[in-house]
Amino acid sequence: MLTIRKSGLQTAIQDLGRSGFQRYGVIASGVMDPFAHRIANLLAGNAETSPTLEIALSGPVIEFEADHFIAICGGDLSPSLDGEPLAMWRGHFVPKGSVLSFGEPKRGARSYVAVAGSFDIPAVMGSHSTYLRAGIGGFQGRALKNGDSLQTLALPAGRMEALKKQNAQTPDWLIPPARYHEQPIIRMMPGRQFNLFNEASRKRIFEESFSVSANSDRMGYRLEGPELALEKQEELISEAVAFGSVQVPADGNPIVLLADRQTTGGYPKIGQVAAVDLPLISQLKPGESLKFRHISVNDAQQLYIEQEQQIRQLKIAIQMKREEWT
């Protein structure tokens, strides 16, 4: 069991999102940085789909009421255990009574804490993700508060010993040095309505730099930069949007739709961020900036497949090692 001593800015349980219900208007929710979430779970011996704690900017204080094994991945929010800095991207045994806290956000905006066995909470519509606005999923449909206690599921016999001996780490090849950079290059496919934008906008989107507005959240990041406009103003027919769709409302400032996006939208989409680069956006803090670079759908699929293969490799390596120790 873990107890939340201080909740932090926004700490909530998320997984890879609520799939299959978007056709009923139910938003997907889920983690903002699926890559970090999945790696954290693998290092903790969990399935990639298990729920983790998503922590934003100013982290919580968590007391472990039993022996646990955890891994923290994602943005560096200066995690420490009983005051000692705790390395990220690797597993750690945390004994009963120890306290996890976070400090200054050094790089990135969100961290993911996976606990071996994962959290014992009911799934709603097939997912453990917290959907704050509807008050469903996660822990009682809300962000965590001071004093909340989270139960974890029991580990298979011998698992804790195996995890401790293994002390899994993420290999360097899997964490590119440019990850969570303050000024990332984001690869973007032309959006469904790309050709409705005027020539200047179609050029500027791939040339100039955009900064993340303070008015940004899990639903979407508002960007500020050169103004973008359609060739001629027209009303569009609402259609599906996706994680990473870049839509442009009439004010000309693009919005990158993220985890808590609506299912459909009527604004023209100038682009679609490649899935492999979504974490780079989700980890930006207001005031930081980015540039878009053109990528084709085919190349974005190739990158997606390569990343999936890398994650699978890590998964197999961790499992094999653990079996050696069991």
Partner 1 sequence: MEFTFSPLSEQALVIETGTIINKESEQAVRKLSALLEKEAPDWLIEFIPAFTTVTVFYDPCRLRQAEAEQELTRLMAQLDEVEAPAPRQIEIPVCYGGDFGPDLRFVAEHNGLTEEEVVNIHTSGTYSVHMIGFAPGFPFIGGMSEKIAAPRRKSPRLRIPERTVGIAGMQTGVYPIETPGGWQLIGRTPLRLFVPEQDIPSLLRAGDEIRFTQIDEAEYREQEAKRDADHS
Identity of the residue, 75 or 138, whose beta carbon is nearer to partner 1 in the bound complex = 138
> Taking the complex as a whole, how short is the minimal distance between the CB of residue 259 and partner 1, in angstroms?
15
> Taking the complex as a whole, how short is the minimal distance between the CB of residue 283 and partner 1, in angstroms?
20
Give, in degrees to the nearest 5, the angle at Cα 138 between 133 and 140: 75
Identity of the residue, 101 or 127, whose beta carbon is nearer to partner 1 in the bound complex = 127
Cα distance between residue 202 and residue 231, in whole Å:
10
Query: H-helix or E-strand containing 4?
Result: strand 2-6
CB 6 within 8 A of CB 250: no
3-state per-residue secondary structure call for 183-250: CCEEEEEECCCHHHECHHHHHHHHHCEEEECCCCCCCEEEEECCCCCECCCCCCCCEECCCCEEECCC
Identity of the residue, 7 or 193, whose beta carbon is nearer to partner 1 in the bound complex = 193
Cα distance between residue 130 and residue 14, in whole Å:
6
Footprint on this chain of partner 1 (rule: CB under 8 A): 19-27, 124-125, 133-134, 136, 189, 192, 237-242, 244-245, 262-265, 269, 272, 274-275, 297-298, 300-301, 304-305, 308
> Taking the complex as a whole, how short is the minimal distance between the CB of residue 218 and partner 1, in angstroms?
15
Identity of the residue, 204 or 261, whose beta carbon is nearer to partner 1 in the bound complex = 261
> Taking the complex as a whole, how short is the minimal distance between the CB of residue 251 and partner 1, in angstroms?
15
CB 105 within 8 A of CB 279: no
Cα distance between residue 194 and residue 111, in whole Å:
33
Query: H-helix or E-strand containing 12?
Result: strand 10-14
Identity of the residue, 124 or 212, whose beta carbon is nearer to partner 1 in the bound complex = 124
> Taking the complex as a whole, how short is the minimal distance between the CB of residue 296 and partner 1, in angstroms?
9
> Taking the complex as a whole, how short is the minimal distance between the CB of residue 254 and partner 1, in angstroms?
16
Q: Which two structure tokens, joined as six digits, stand for 279?
A: 């974490």
Identity of the residue, 209 or 238, whose beta carbon is nearer to partner 1 in the bound complex = 238
